[in-house]
A and B are shown apart, each in its own frame.
Chain A
Amino acid sequence: MRFHRGKIKHFFTFVFIIQFFLVNTLPAFALFGGPKIPSPSSVLSDVEKRYHLDTGSIQNIGEAMNVSSGKMTVPEVSIFFTPSDPKEGEKITAKAFPTFFSNSEEDMYYTWSLKRNGCDIEKSYDRNDPQKRSCDADNNGNIDVEDWKITAGRILVQNGYDTTDNADLGPLDDDGYRAHFGGANRTTASNEYCYINDPSSGTNYELASGSSETRFIDSYGSLCTGNRTPACAVEELTLENTTLTMNTSATGGSSSATGGSGDANGGTGGSASATNASASANASGDVVKTSQTGYTVSGIPACFNNTIICNIGTPKCVTNINSSSPIYGSNLISCSSTADVSGAITNKCQHLFPRASESGDNRFEEREEGFWGTNPRDPSTADNGNKDEANVVGLGQSSFTWTYQKGDKIGVAVEGTSLVPTKHDNTSFMTMWAFSNKKCNPSGTTGSYSQMIKGYSVSFPTVDMDLNDCIPRSLVDPTVGGQATRLTLAVSATPDDPINDSSDDKSGDTIFVQASVDNANKNIANILFDWKIDIARNISDFENENSQPITDDLIDKKLIGNIKGNGLDSLQLKMNLTNEDINNIEDYKYLRFRVTAVESFGENQRRKGTSDIVVKFINSTDKISVKRVEADDQGKVRLITDDTLCDGHDNDLDKTLCKVIKNEIIGLKVDSSNLQNFRWTINGVPLLCNSRVSSPCDDKAQGAINFFPVTGNPGDMYTVTMTANEVSPSGSITDKTVTLTRAFVVVEPSVTLKSTNEENGAWRKFLGRYKSLVDVVGNSECLENLCDDFSDSIYEAYKGTTGVSFYADFTPNFLGRKATVTFTLDGMDTSSQDFLDSKKITPFDITKAVGETYTIGVKAEVAEDVNLRKALMNIWGISPFSSSELHFDSSVQLEVKDEPVTEGPMNGPRKYYAAIASYLPSSVLFTFRIFLSAVLVLFTLHLLNRMLENRRLTAFVNDAVEKEKE
């Protein structure tokens, strides 16, 4: 509780008022019929009533004032760490925030202590232990708080200075600094009083050793001690009953009477006389009589220069000083006090600086420079504006940055001038220290001493302690209370209302989900992201855990890619969820994308963050149909309703991305049976259809059909979006908004020739195989992602094949419906009307020799309808010169191959030879064949040579002759 000056002022005003009434109102009682002494309680009671003073309130004020001295605001300090979750080897900064000091931050002394892991206090340690030896910063044979302070101090004063750097060879510097108690701005203070606050009692103890003892001697020559206590006492008087004796007499004539007289001790009665007739009366006896009942304590006597001083009363040596009854005792006649002896009380004010005996003494010699590792030729090695010795004493060093090691503990003691004034008769304020952790209690010998100040004896509690004892308790572990904060994740998803295509068209939107991390320490590429996707009918299902996890299903269906990986901060989901993927997909409306990000720093050191976003999607099989367009002679367009483009009939990809060519008019149509209030946009710009464009269009509102001309160049894209309100079967508009999208890409018109029969006619030439970089599923040309590569311009066919034919394949496909084509075979026109309608070349037979080729060509011409060109000009202002005829052509080469040799079954030695032949290099096989030939030749020659030997031939001939004879 704090006491405001205003309250105290009111209280004293109240006391003065009471005193005024007590002193000045007594004579007035004579006006009310005789002597009557009111009790103090009745007087105070009357005052309270008159001034509406509540007894309880006054008591509260008094009670609070009694303990107010113990509730002073004393200095404190807090430490904040950046980062709050330091990693080993990382730079960490501790910032001290001292409060309740009168100094500014830069005028205070910050004594930092850095205790490394294993550097606990030890009187004598094993010097063979290198770790312990490194703890002994001052190399004095023991590990104590001084080492911790020096460890931190060196970091501060060096501030990264390389002690081996002797490049600066200037003169020796003068970088001494004199420290002042209470801060750098307390240079004029004549007396320094250092205090330590006892947080339990609130008492501020002055750092001093010794205490004063006062002796009082009473009138009997005895020492007032033991059960007798020196006290200042005043007499206590009581009024006694008095009796007045009345004497009367009476005569004739006049009469006179005189009153009696009296003093404080009684009085005499008056007299009366009468003339002529006279009567007289007098009274005798004490009017007022008091008696002493004892003494009451008015204070404690002080002894100053061997003189007993009582401000009120007389000095007595009394027993039972706390008794409520009147007390008695002998008078005190002399005294003596040890406080008056010089040196009895020793001021124990000491800085907490590292090496405090020599730090801050305005001398920073080369020896000290060497100890601290500072540059003796640079007055500010740390380059922070402070002299080196000022940095040693921590002047203004509210921040401390060091390289964190596991187990480090940090502490700070801040020295400054508090806001609490001392009781000493000068301008001094208490010099105090604030310790981190706020754990510093007076722990030494306590005592007190008294001083006469302004005529009063003032007592000063003292404690004799070393504040260094508080440093171990002030150490803070930077990681305690500052554990890793969570990663702050934000997730966003586009588009807002994605559409899921539950049909087989696979034309649903792609949801793009992006996660961003605000407070990551590492690069996004080093953060592990883990995505999970749930689906639910209602949002509350996610909270009630009634949602259905579908992540694995989506992976199996190839609708999403990787879900876990470093730097995987985005996810794309193709909204083509069908009933096959998720049962009753039509019932689901919400998707939740949950992402977990983990930032790892090493073993068991990680930061985590999770976030999610719920996306509402619309299940729809509706789509924007793309129609061919025709125009009337007035230049108005209309849909050819039965000619649908990009319906996936020829190419499945067309349903997703419809190919169109420049200067084409595209018609758009949606099923309007359950939709109303249409809005069309193309690339975000409104797309309007009115009666000027097409007769079915309304001038008042947009309808279910629309048109747009393709004006872009090849490669440009158009995105047409239709938004409409859904209408219930009853005809009322529901709260559901349907958004349909269709994408178009402008392509260069082209035609290619393709074989009508690759099985038994001409086939694409096999070029080799390639490894597909993406998983290929359902492609007959790929086996385990090893795909066959075929030429598109070279075909092959066996000699003698009949009925080989090629057809023209147009891009975009609908061009074939209005193109005029001619085919050539080896430059000769082979167009036949029978096959032109189906855009095929007249079938021909392969009659050329093996190795010869055929060249098949196709030329196409597309002439845009005149009315459509007129519409382009009238409606959209496109010049007819840019919508002229299109010409394009293509050709392929057909190589004649020999019929394949029939291969026998692969068994026996044949299969081993096949296996060897397939694995051995060709050069080895070739050499092997040549050597076999050589061996065969030599063997044959050898055989022949042996056969032609004379004896063999002779024997052979003789045998033949004998047989002939027989």
Chain B
Amino acid sequence: MMQTFVQLLSFFRRFLITFLLVIFSLLFLFFFSESETVSPILQQFIVSIVFFLIIPLVYSRIVMKEPWENIGFQKGYFWTGLFLGILSVLFTFSIFWWTINFFPSFKESYVLPGIVQVSFWWFVFYELIVVSILLMLYEVFFRGLIQFFWLKDFGMWAILIQTLFFVLFSINDISWQRFPLLLFCPFAGLIVYFSKSLWYSFVASWMFLFLVDIFFLISH
């Protein structure tokens, strides 16, 4: 009995330990108490970088001694990724369009930073740097670590589970402002699942958000 338990424990140790890491990271971020002496935005940035990017990469490479390909940093299936990416963007933008028409408050609630609205170069900086970094963090943690590394054996279910984790992560901030990210989350998982790479989902996510921002910038 004991032997069997030990063998099972040893067999599933990768799953169990990664589970602990995911749970700990999400709980840490969820219950993270802000320091009074440092800017909240800076704190969020530092914590996100550490827990969504650095820890998954180090965990994969050093703790599990696995290459970063296992976390999704590989070429994968280019045409699949491209096709699914374009399809996902078109589809999600259609949903977005439909949502905009049925929920006028969406349009009013989604607000870009003031300086981005009035300065072209700040807009470029915002889209190329800020949005890119944010999406890369989410891709690495939710699609890379959870879906691709941890729940690889769950098949298509992994897409649903990582979406649930993302919703749980965003539970404190469910708003129209976050709706585009939540909307594209399952499609990003779909792209990763079929293309075996984070890059296509990252590009597709960025493209979708860019179109959304452009839309709101024009419509406002």
Contact = CB atoms under 8 A, between A and B. Distances in A.
Nearest to B63: A942
Contacts of B47: 930
Given A926-B38, A948-B16, A949-B10, A941 B50 contact: no
Contacts of B91: none
Interface string B2-19: 110011011101101100
Contacts of A954: 3, 6, 10
Interface in B22-52: 24-25, 28, 35, 37-39, 42-43, 46-47, 50-51
A930 B37 contact: no
B20 A934 contact: no
Interface in A939-964: 941-942, 944-945, 948-950, 953-954, 957, 961
A937 interface: yes
Given A931-B50, A942-B62, A922 B10 contact: no
B65 to A, nearest CB: 9
A128 interface: no
B133 interface: no
Given A926-B46, A957-B6, A937 B21 contact: yes
B64 interface: yes
A322 interface: no
B54 interface: yes
B63 A938 contact: yes
A927 interface: yes
B64 A937 contact: no
Q: With a 10 A CB-CB cut-off, give which of B7, B16, B50, B62 has the most chain A CB atoms.
A: B50
A755 B2 CA distance: 71
Contact of A930 (B6, B24, B50, B62): B50
A838 interface: no
Contacts of A926: 35, 37-38, 42-43, 46
Contact of B63 (A922, A930, A945, A957): A945
Contact of B46 (A927, A942, A945, A953): A927
Nearest to A961: B2
Interface residues of A, number: 21
A941 B63 CA distance: 7
B214 interface: no
Contacts of B39: 923
A732 interface: no
Nearest to B13: A948
Interface string B61-81: 011100000000000000000
B3 A948 contact: no
A953 B28 contact: no
A561 to B, nearest CB: 42
Interface in A915-939: 922-923, 926-927, 930-931, 933-934, 937-938
A945 B37 contact: no
A934 B50 contact: yes
Contact of B28 (A927, A933, A944): A933
Contact of A937 (B35, B43, B55): B55
A941 B21 contact: yes
A927 B14 CA distance: 29
B17 to A, nearest CB: 5
Q: Chain B: interface secondary structure?
A: helix
Interface in B170-186: none
B205 to A, nearest CB: 25
A949 B54 contact: no
Contacts of B37: 922, 926
B59 A957 contact: no
A948 B64 CA distance: 12
A198 to B, nearest CB: 96
A944 B17 contact: yes
B129 interface: no
B100 interface: no
A948 B17 contact: yes
Contacts of B2: 957, 961
A607 B21 CA distance: 86
Contacts of A922: 35, 37-38
Given A950-B7, A957-B2, A941 B35 contact: no
A715 to B, nearest CB: 43
B9 A944 contact: no
B87 interface: no
Interface string B124-145: 0000000000000000000000
A948 B16 CA distance: 10
Given A933-B28, A944-B17, A953 B9 contact: yes
B111 interface: no
A935 to B, nearest CB: 9
B58 interface: yes
A931 B49 CA distance: 10
A954 B16 CA distance: 18
A949 B13 contact: yes
Contacts of A942: 62-63
Contacts of A953: 6, 9-10
B20 A941 contact: yes
Contacts of B17: 941, 944-945, 948
Contacts of A949: 10, 13
A670 B6 CA distance: 104
Contacts of B7: 950
A897 to B, nearest CB: 15
Contacts of A937: 21, 24-25, 55
A960 to B, nearest CB: 8
A931 B13 CA distance: 25
Nearest to B55: A934
A938 B62 contact: yes
Contacts of A931: 50
Listed from nearest, the 10 A-B pairs whose CB atoms lie closest are A922-B37, A948-B13, A950-B10, A953-B6, A942-B63, A926-B38, A934-B50, A922-B38, A930-B50, A923-B38
21 contacts: A926-B37, A926-B38, A930-B50, A933-B50, A934-B58, A937-B25, A937-B55, A938-B58, A938-B59, A938-B63, A942-B63, A945-B17, A945-B64, A948-B9, A948-B10, A948-B13, A948-B16, A949-B13, A953-B6, A954-B3, A957-B6
Given A926-B46, A938-B58, A942-B63, 6 more contacts: A938-B62, A941-B59, A948-B9, A948-B13, A950-B10, A954-B10
